[in-house]
Structure 1
Amino acid sequence: MSVETFVEDAGLFYERLGLSRTAGRVMGWLLAAETGDADAPELAEALAVAKSSMSVALRQLEQAGLVERFRVRGGRRDRYRLVEDVFARAFRARLTEFDGFRALAEQGLKAVGEDPERRRRLELMRDMYTWPSRAAWSSHRSTTRCSPFRTPSGGRAPLGSVPPAAK
């Protein structure tokens, strides 16, 4: 497989997740690039897109917290690179969505009372969305040896970093 194929596949993959295809291609390019960074004109040329399209894609990625803008000392143009913990951030965001599904199922369980069939469906939903949060948090704790409220270095964990199901 070529890097070009990977970049195109990344574009399609990220498009299915809600980004523009160009933004997804930028993600793929930055992942596979030798230096891991580029300025907007370099990216536009490498991906054969208009500068205006590249500007929109980079803004989308920057606002989503996936890329960061920086400038090399003495440089005249902003450069872009993936945020250091980009995939951990994306994973935490997905866990937050799972927590929302779990909370909705809990609300439904309160609403339906003791009806066994309706409870069974809602319990299945709740259990399905509880597992990823607990499993991810257990895995994280076993590899980092930190408490739910402290980072491995002893500092406070960022607000929202502890899934409610793991408390």
Structure 2
Amino acid sequence: MTGETDRREAAERLALALVAAGMQRMAARALAAFLFSDEESLTAGDLADELGVSAGSVSGAIRTLAQLGLIERSFVAGSRREHFRMRENAWTTVYSRQHSMVDDVLSAAEKGIDAVGPGLAHDRLVYMRDFYTFLLNEVPALVERFEQQRAGAQRSRRRGGPRP
């Protein structure tokens, strides 16, 4: 895929996959636009033009992506428009931010365990608690391993080695 039409179709396919995974449609399309752009930053107007929608309709998408930690405001000298760019290490940032959600789930599971007596409900809640506790304990090591693997792959590419 090298043409502009191919790039747009690939971006829309990614957006559809993100929607299927639970992301709001406009946020998914805006994220795909950021991911497929070769520009350092984009404005709401840039996104609107790329997506064929009004600038106002992308404001909620920008807010959602910023709250998720995927994009951030960016200063562009000489521009009076607000610019946004993908965050450095956006995916590990997002994954790490899910700790607060998992903490809330764990807290609710603990209260549920305390509220029920022995039985199937208790067993289900204990399983849920144990699973999320395991995830919380494993995520930092996974992120660190990913970053180490990525740094090694980048060094290898700079030396002309094979891509992972």
TM-score of the superposition, structure 2-length normalised? Answer: 0.70
Q: RMSD across aligned C-alpha pairs, in angstroms?
A: 2.8
CA shift in 2, pair 1:138/1:76, >3 Å? closer
Q: 1:119 & 1:55 partners in 2: Cα distance?
A: 44
CA deviation string 1:99-121 (max 9, x = no partner): 222222222222224x2433322
Q: What is the alpha-carbon distance in structure 1 between the residues aligned to residue 123 and residue 64 of structure 2?
A: 40
Instruction: State how many pairs are aligned.
Output: 144
- The counterpart of 1:135, out of the listed 131, 138, 163, is 138
Give runs of aligned pairs for residues 90-129 of structure 1, distance below 5 A. 90-113=94-117, 115-129=118-132
Unaligned 5+ runs, structure 1: 145-167
Note closer, same or farther for the CA distance 1:13–1:36 as it changes in structure 2 (3 Å cut): farther
Distance (whole Å) between structure 2 residues aligned to residue 90 and residue 71 of structure 1: 22
Structure 2's unaligned 5+ residue stretches are: 148-164
* Among candidates 29, 37, 41, match of residue 33 of structure 1: 37
Q: Give the corresponding residue for 1:3.
A: 7
Q: Partners of 1:102 and 1:91 in 2: how far apart?
A: 17
Identity of aligned residues (%): 30
Using the TM superposition, give the Cα deviation of residue 91 of structure 1 relative to its aligned residue in structure 2, in angstroms. 0.9
Task: Give the structure with the higher percent helix.
Answer: 2
Tell me whether 67-76 or 126-135 shows the greater mean CA deviation: 67-76
Which piece of structure 1 moves more, 32-41 or 42-51? 32-41
For the residue of structure 2 that corresponds to 1:72, the secondary structure is coil
Q: Rate the CA distance shift 1:68–1:118 in 2: closer, same or farther, 3 A.
A: closer
